[in-house]
Chains A and B, each alone.
Chain A
Amino acid sequence: MRALLRRLLDTPAYVWAALLLTALLLFLAQVTRLQGVDGAVVVRQAHVQLPLEPASAARPVALPHVWDDVHRSWSGEAWYRITLPPELAALARQEPGIGLLLPRVGVRFRVLFNGHELASEGWRRGPGYLDAGTQAHFVALPASLMRSPWQDNRIEVQLRGQALRISGLSPVWFGPADVLLQRHHWLQWWQVHLTWMVAASAFLLGLLSLLIWAHSGERLFGLLAGGLLVLTGRLALSAPVFLPGPFVLWDYLHKLSFTLYCGLIYLFMSELFDFGQGPARKLVRMMMLAGPLWLAVQAWAGDYQLYRLWTGVIVLVCLFALLQVMHRARWGLDVNQRLMVVVGLATVVTGLRDFMVVQLGLPGDADIRWMTPGSLVLMFAMGWVLLQRVTRSLEQVGRLNAELARQVSEREEELHAVFDRLRQAENQRVLETERRRLTRDMHDGLGSQLVQTLNLVRSSGERIESAAVASMLSHALEELRMTLDSLEPMEGDLPTILGTLRQRITPALQAARIELDWQVQEVPAVPGLEARGVMHLFRCLQEVFANVVKHAHATRVTVRTWQEGSQVLLSVSDNGVGLGAMPAGQAFRAGGRGMGNLRLRAGEIGAELRFSDARPGTCVTLAFDLGGATARREGPA
């Protein structure tokens, strides 16, 4: 069962549409075949009298009798006297009695039986839009009103015509009431119920298209919505309704709606097929522009023939457009386009059939129009296409989203790669900076120590002063240790940095018999004292202590740290001779060069260097700002 359903769904829509349509057309042909109804007699003869022209005598006419064929723009009144067929005399007094069926009569009428009015449609209504001819009418003939002998019974159908409409009387059916009632129901279904059904469907589908159009702005849906809403209007005006107001106006709208419907549906198809500006499209546009004018002229002239002509034009244009579509089909059509060609063709066939049977009077059941079910099929096909289209665009959105996600993830990967490269470059830069600093430190400290030692060994000749060499080598080792210490993570912890330095300077101070007074207190972490900063601080303090040991003649040196507001202070003070008393050129290594170095290094770590008189002795103070990154990142050591 499921496999069968799947196979059905896999079959292209146009194939089964073609099959269904063929079946429908065959069914319509069968239903509207001219055939008699059992027991019914069709009367095709009547005597007509024009009451507005009392002088004229009653004259026999053949039915159907259409006034427009006789008088252009006829809107008078006509009384048709019909003789009851003698075959019914036997049935008249039996159950269920007899009746008559008026398949088409219009546009307003009443039926009199032996002078008694049995039925009427719009007869006493004031001006307005009404066409009784849109549906069939059944009238039961009560036995009580029957006269004897049979020939004395008179049926009179009085009608009022309306310019621009087919006014007149179709052949009248007489027969058993039940049989005629059945036929009446059948016609009612085709003429009224089906019309309303199609109108409701067109309205809903049109509304849906309108919403999609409002949402998506796609012309295709706008055209479809226009076409379907126009069709709704046309079908409403084709049903038996009474509308107040001038008849001409409603009739004009009714006729115009057909032109617009055909035009809009063609434009929809041309848009669907993506045809561009083909000649058919131009022709249809011209038709849609000319239609209102032509119909206005028709209304003004009151000539129904002009409308008949116009209907012919529409059918021809539609045929031409459809031929164009078929012509295009040589380049291949997709499933939807094929479906529309098939359905469009079927619709044109229904239109053509109605035109030929109703307007040109070719044989066929003119009471049943093919166009109405034809429109329904066309509409459903359009609904199908609509659904396909929306589904496809949803799929496209899905695909676009997936593509977008793919692109985003690609960009993300690229960005990651770029960030990685940047990070690597940054690491490289940091490594390079650090390498340069280490090289410089090695060069200035360890390197020069080793060179001095080497020179000493070389100049000593055979007699090497091993004590001096050992001392110089341990100096070199100390230098190296200091460099390594500076690489340990100190995180700006000034007391620990000083403690580490203390280990290095203690032997020298002990040798010089200088007492070290350690007054270091906990202070906040100093920003900028990372590896490079630590090395600068080491060198600064080395310089300061070297100065104390060599020139100050001090016996005591005090190292102190404390905080003052937003500053951390570090002081090294001695009780020696003081700066002023030092021989010129001695203090801070050879005439201020040491001082310059001190200032430079202090600047590198963002510290302010102050010298003051300690009375006695000298006090060197380094003030660090806690405020932030005052330390410069780059620069010569």
Chain B
Amino acid sequence: MTDTDERPAGTAAAGDTRIYLIEDDDSILQFLQRALLARPGWHLSGHSGSLAHAREHALRSQANVFLVDLGLPDGNGEDLLRLLAREQPEAELLVFTVFGEESRLIGALSAGATGYVLKGCSPQELIEAIEQIREGGAPISPLLARLLLKQFRSVQAGQPPDPADTPDEVVWLSERETEVLKLVAHGYVNKEIAAKLGISPATVSTHIKNLYRKLSVHSRVQVVRIAQERGLL
């Protein structure tokens, strides 16, 4: 993650943090519980070891941070992300992944994830990552930025997108968003990007978060359109 080095840890905003873990590996649960010892104000609202259990209990848990493992024993985590994004739009949906493969992450982001945390980090790193995301941060990698640039269509400099020429499935990137993504793809970190563009590092994160939202909205539009086409709606 490129933004781990630029935020002071443990600010008040992240005070009321209720975490729900959806993960079939018990060692991860223990790891999380150990990590939470460092933040007495945070607590674990619950955990599910399977997709079915999570569907039953996760929504009733009042949690505002969901840590979702994509490879659940009884199904795909993305379906759950879609459900949570619809029912809990205010919550942070974090993908908990070992490797952070970008091609899988794109799918998760489209399903509604708002960020990701790598498994194998230290308890301290986990807490920091959650805090940063709660404060508006957005983890991104150069490869992910590159994939987003390919997925979206950039607005040509000085020319607003022509609405007539814009079918539903096209997502437009603003000039600034394109610049941010390009710099991320070239390996620059948020602080460097902020300096190059003359904006604050938080704004850089906001841009990225917006992009994630666009991606998920765009994918929802596509789902609706496909449903309409098939006569389901």
- Spell out A's residues near B (CB within 8 Å): 474, 477, 480-481, 484-485, 488-490, 493, 495-496, 498-503, 506, 510, 518, 520-522
Establish whether residues A520 and B187, one from each chain, have CB atoms under 8 Å apart when the complex forms.
yes
- Min Cβ gap B144→A in Å is 10
The residue on A at minimum CB distance from B4 is A506
- Known A-B contacts A474-B120, A477-B120, A493-B146; A499 and B185 likewise in contact (beta carbons under 8 Å): yes
Q: Could you say which residues of chain B place their CB within 8 Å of the CB of A477?
A: 120
Establish whether residues A521 and B186, one from each chain, have CB atoms under 8 Å apart when the complex forms.
yes
Interface string of B172-192 (1 = CB under 8 A from A): 000000000010111111001
Establish whether residues B120 and A496, one from each chain, have CB atoms under 8 Å apart when the complex forms.
no
**Complex CA–CA separation, A502 to B142 (angstroms):** 9
Establish whether residues A518 and B192, one from each chain, have CB atoms under 8 Å apart when the complex forms.
yes
- Pick the contact of B187 from A484, A490, A499 — CB < 8 Å? A499
- Min Cβ gap A396→B in Å is 54
Q: Does residue B2 face the partner (Cβ distance < 8 Å to A)?
A: yes
Establish whether residues A518 and B188, one from each chain, have CB atoms under 8 Å apart when the complex forms.
yes
The residue on B at minimum CB distance from A491 is B146
Interface string of B124-140 (1 = CB under 8 A from A): 00000000000000000
Q: Could you say which residues of chain A place their CB within 8 Å of the CB of B185?
A: 493, 495-496, 499
- Report 19 cross-chain contacts, Cβ distance below 8 Å, ordered by A residue: A480-B99, A481-B100, A485-B143, A488-B101, A489-B103, A495-B186, A496-B142, A496-B143, A496-B186, A496-B187, A499-B141, A499-B184, A499-B186, A500-B142, A503-B1, A506-B5, A518-B192, A520-B188, A521-B186
- Min Cβ gap B199→A in Å is 18
Establish whether residues A500 and B120, one from each chain, have CB atoms under 8 Å apart when the complex forms.
no
- Min Cβ gap B137→A in Å is 16
Interface string of B92-106 (1 = CB under 8 A from A): 000000011111000
Q: Could you say which residues of chain A place their CB within 8 Å of the CB of B103?
A: 488-489
**Complex CA–CA separation, A521 to B141 (angstroms):** 17
- Known A-B contacts A485-B143, A493-B146; A522 and B182 likewise in contact (beta carbons under 8 Å): yes
**Complex CA–CA separation, A457 to B141 (angstroms):** 34
**Complex CA–CA separation, A493 to B5 (angstroms):** 26
Establish whether residues B120 and A490, one from each chain, have CB atoms under 8 Å apart when the complex forms.
no
**Complex CA–CA separation, A496 to B100 (angstroms):** 16
Q: Could you say which residues of chain B place their CB within 8 Å of the CB of A501?
A: 187
**Complex CA–CA separation, A448 to B143 (angstroms):** 27
Q: Is the interface of A mostly helix, strand, loop or mixed?
A: helix
- Pick the contact of B186 from A480, A481, A485, A520 — CB < 8 Å? A520
Q: Could you say which residues of chain B place their CB within 8 Å of the CB of A503?
A: 1-2, 141-142
**Complex CA–CA separation, A503 to B185 (angstroms):** 12
**Complex CA–CA separation, A503 to B100 (angstroms):** 12
Establish whether residues B143 and A488, one from each chain, have CB atoms under 8 Å apart when the complex forms.
yes
- Min Cβ gap A269→B in Å is 75
- Known A-B contacts A474-B120, A477-B120, A503-B141; A498 and B101 likewise in contact (beta carbons under 8 Å): no
- Min Cβ gap A470→B in Å is 8
Interface string of B1-35 (1 = CB under 8 A from A): 11001000000000000000000000000000000
- Min Cβ gap A514→B in Å is 14
- Min Cβ gap B133→A in Å is 17
**Complex CA–CA separation, A165 to B192 (angstroms):** 127
Establish whether residues A481 and B99, one from each chain, have CB atoms under 8 Å apart when the complex forms.
yes
- Min Cβ gap B73→A in Å is 22
- Identify the 4 closest CB pairs spanning chains A and B, nearest first: A499-B187, A499-B142, A495-B186, A502-B187
Establish whether residues B188 and A496, one from each chain, have CB atoms under 8 Å apart when the complex forms.
no
**Complex CA–CA separation, A506 to B191 (angstroms):** 14
Q: Could you say which residues of chain A place their CB within 8 Å of the CB of B184?
A: 499
Q: Could you say which residues of chain A place their CB within 8 Å of the CB of B101?
A: 484, 488
Establish whether residues A500 and B188, one from each chain, have CB atoms under 8 Å apart when the complex forms.
no
The residue on A at minimum CB distance from B146 is A496
Q: A499-B186, A500-B187, A503-B2 are in contact. List 6 more A-B contacts (CB 8 A).
A: A496-B143, A498-B187, A499-B142, A499-B188, A518-B188, A522-B182
Interface string of B72-96 (1 = CB under 8 A from A): 0000000000000000000000000
Establish whether residues A490 and B143, one from each chain, have CB atoms under 8 Å apart when the complex forms.
yes
- Min Cβ gap A321→B in Å is 82
Q: Could you say which residues of chain B place their CB within 8 Å of the CB of A498?
A: 186-187
- Min Cβ gap B115→A in Å is 16
- Min Cβ gap A468→B in Å is 15
Establish whether residues B141 and A500, one from each chain, have CB atoms under 8 Å apart when the complex forms.
yes
- Min Cβ gap B31→A in Å is 12
- Min Cβ gap A146→B in Å is 113
Tell which of B146, B185, B189, B192 has the most Cβ of chain A within 10 Å: B146
Q: Could you say which residues of chain A place their CB within 8 Å of the CB of B143?
A: 485, 488, 490, 496, 499-500
Establish whether residues B120 and A495, one from each chain, have CB atoms under 8 Å apart when the complex forms.
no
**Complex CA–CA separation, A499 to B183 (angstroms):** 10
Q: Could you say which residues of chain A place their CB within 8 Å of the CB of B120?
A: 474, 477
- Min Cβ gap A492→B in Å is 12
Q: Could you say which residues of chain B place their CB within 8 Å of the CB of A506?
A: 5
The residue on B at minimum CB distance from A510 is B5
**Complex CA–CA separation, A76 to B146 (angstroms):** 121
Q: Could you say which residues of chain B place their CB within 8 Å of the CB of A481?
A: 99-100
**Complex CA–CA separation, A485 to B143 (angstroms):** 9
Q: Could you say which residues of chain A place their CB within 8 Å of the CB of B182?
A: 522
Q: Could you say which residues of chain A place their CB within 8 Å of the CB of B142?
A: 495-496, 499-500, 502-503
**Complex CA–CA separation, A499 to B187 (angstroms):** 3
Interface string of B184-223 (1 = CB under 8 A from A): 1111110010000000000000000000000000000000
**Complex CA–CA separation, A520 to B182 (angstroms):** 11
Q: Could you say which residues of chain A place their CB within 8 Å of the CB of B188?
A: 499, 518, 520
**Complex CA–CA separation, A475 to B187 (angstroms):** 21
The residue on A at minimum CB distance from B119 is A477
The residue on B at minimum CB distance from A476 is B120
**Complex CA–CA separation, A490 to B100 (angstroms):** 15
- Min Cβ gap A531→B in Å is 13
Establish whether residues A488 and B102, one from each chain, have CB atoms under 8 Å apart when the complex forms.
yes
Q: Which of B29-54 contact A (CB under 8 A)?
A: none
**Complex CA–CA separation, A635 to B185 (angstroms):** 30
**Complex CA–CA separation, A490 to B150 (angstroms):** 12
- Min Cβ gap A375→B in Å is 79
- Min Cβ gap B9→A in Å is 16
Q: Could you say which residues of chain A place their CB within 8 Å of the CB of B146?
A: 490, 493, 496
The residue on A at minimum CB distance from B103 is A488
Tell which of A481, A489, A496, A502 has the most Cβ of chain B within 10 Å: A496
Q: Could you say which residues of chain B place their CB within 8 Å of the CB of A489?
A: 103
**Complex CA–CA separation, A488 to B102 (angstroms):** 8
- Min Cβ gap B169→A in Å is 22
- Min Cβ gap A18→B in Å is 74
The residue on B at minimum CB distance from A470 is B122
- Pick the contact of A484 from B5, B99, B192 — CB < 8 Å? B99
**Complex CA–CA separation, A498 to B183 (angstroms):** 12
- Known A-B contacts A500-B142, A503-B141; A495 and B187 likewise in contact (beta carbons under 8 Å): yes
**Complex CA–CA separation, A477 to B143 (angstroms):** 19
Establish whether residues A518 and B99, one from each chain, have CB atoms under 8 Å apart when the complex forms.
no
Q: Could you say which residues of chain B place their CB within 8 Å of the CB of A522?
A: 182, 186
Q: Could you say which residues of chain B place their CB within 8 Å of the CB of A496?
A: 142-143, 145-146, 185-187
- Min Cβ gap A477→B in Å is 5
**Complex CA–CA separation, A506 to B143 (angstroms):** 16
**Complex CA–CA separation, A356 to B86 (angstroms):** 116
